[in-house]
Amino acid sequence: MTSKDLSIFNSLRPFSIGFDDMFDQFENMLGSGNLTMQSNYPPYNIRKTGKDKYSIEVALAGFSKKDVEVEFEDNLLTVKTKQVNKSEDKNEDGEILHKGISQRQFVRSFTIADDVKVDGAELKDGLLTIECERIVPEYKKKKLIEIK
């Protein structure tokens, strides 16, 4: 990301009130190159499941609950693997002759808005679903202003 690209955000600052955090988040994401460094693994969907409800679905075939960690800190939701034991070529189900299901390590991050809370996560049938909900404070809700 070049300084020219970041100057677009800086040129908008004088025309906005209260958006400093948003511009800072864009600068952090774009300026440090985080958007280009993430791979396409694991694949994911983001769904709008209601008026203010969202779910993030991450495809994690071959992973169990003990292999995956979900963290939420400072508007950053991170899904990552714990240390994967590569020496598990033999387990109670038998010896693995061909390993085609990937269990490589990954880190996938999502930037979450200030007014969105993470409700929980569930891993079922190889799909990790993280539920999120946008909480609209009273001062942001539509209201009719009486004219005196």
Q: Tell me the pLDDT tens digit for each residue of 74-121.
A: 889 999 998 756 555 556 677 878 877 767 788 999 988 888 999 999
Predicted local confidence at residue 30, as pLDDT: 63
Domains of the chain with CATH codes: 1-37 (no CATH), 40-88+96-148 (2.60.40.790)
What's the pTM? 0.66
Q: What is the largest CA-CA distance in the chain?
A: 80
